[in-house]
Amino acid sequence: MSKDQKIYKTFCPMPKMNSGMLTLEDLEQITEIVRRYEVPMIKVTGAQRLSYHGITPEKMAALKKELHIPETLPHKRNKVHYVQACPGKTWCKWGTKTTEEMTKAIENLELDGPLPNKVKVGISGCQLCCCESWMRDIGLLAEKRGWRLTFGGNAGNRARIGDLVARGLSDDEALELIKKVLNYYISKAQFTTRSARFMERFGIETLKKDLGIA
């Protein structure tokens, strides 16, 4: 990019990034798009996605159309916004549990209705917590005895550590409990309230009592 070239403040996150785990075919497809649209800059985001930056608004509209990205976000509010996951036991020597299946299962979760606001999920395959699970709306972390589930974390302007909901969960138990917690959030929170603010108001003890968690 020459120093005289105009910088357009446009951006487009690449969908279906598989928590940042990419194959050669994925990289080739990304390279082909970058060449064809002459994307001047690509950002690796904190959410393990790639974001294309700086092309003209006309090209950006064409790119979004090609990638099937609607103009307004989030796209489907009865699904979580994104799942961020570490390589887990399959690829990391510290991993206690694999993360791929859980990532897909949570991405595919169909909830009872539209979520009040975006829900970000962080899955870490061991206690080193590389995916910042404590700071995500839903946090999963693998311990020797099973998954630890937290809810209500946030890394934004008013950062918050998530509340501990349960520990020692199997994959099925964790998935079932995530669904319960999110449907509870849907039924109780006002529209646009993030889970962190909701939990400040409701409190973990109320949530556990209402959901029958010991």
Binding residues (CB under 6 A) for ligand SF4: these are: 86-88, 92, 94-95, 124-126, 128-130
Please state the closest distance from residue 185 (CB atom) to ligand SF4, in A.
25
CA-to-CA separations, 116 to 48, 78, 133, 184, 207, in angstroms, rounded? 23, 9, 20, 11, 16
Please state the closest distance from residue 101 (CB atom) to ligand SF4, in A.
15
Nearer to ligand SF4, 17 or 126 (CB): 126
Nearer to ligand SF4, 83 or 126 (CB): 126
Nearer to ligand SF4, 54 or 88 (CB): 88
Residues whose CB is less than 8 angstroms from the CB of residue 165 and which lie 6 or more positions away in sequence, other chains included: 149, 150, 151, 177, 181, 204, 207, 208, 213
Nearer to ligand SF4, 133 or 154 (CB): 133
Residue 56 near residue 10, CB atoms below 8 Å: yes
Identify which of 6, 24, 181, 31 has the alpha carbon closest to the alpha carbon of residue 14.
31
Please state the closest distance from residue 119 (CB atom) to ligand SF4, in A.
21
Q: How many CA atoms lie within 13 A of 134 on its CB side?
A: 8
Please state the closest distance from residue 42 (CB atom) to ligand SF4, in A.
23
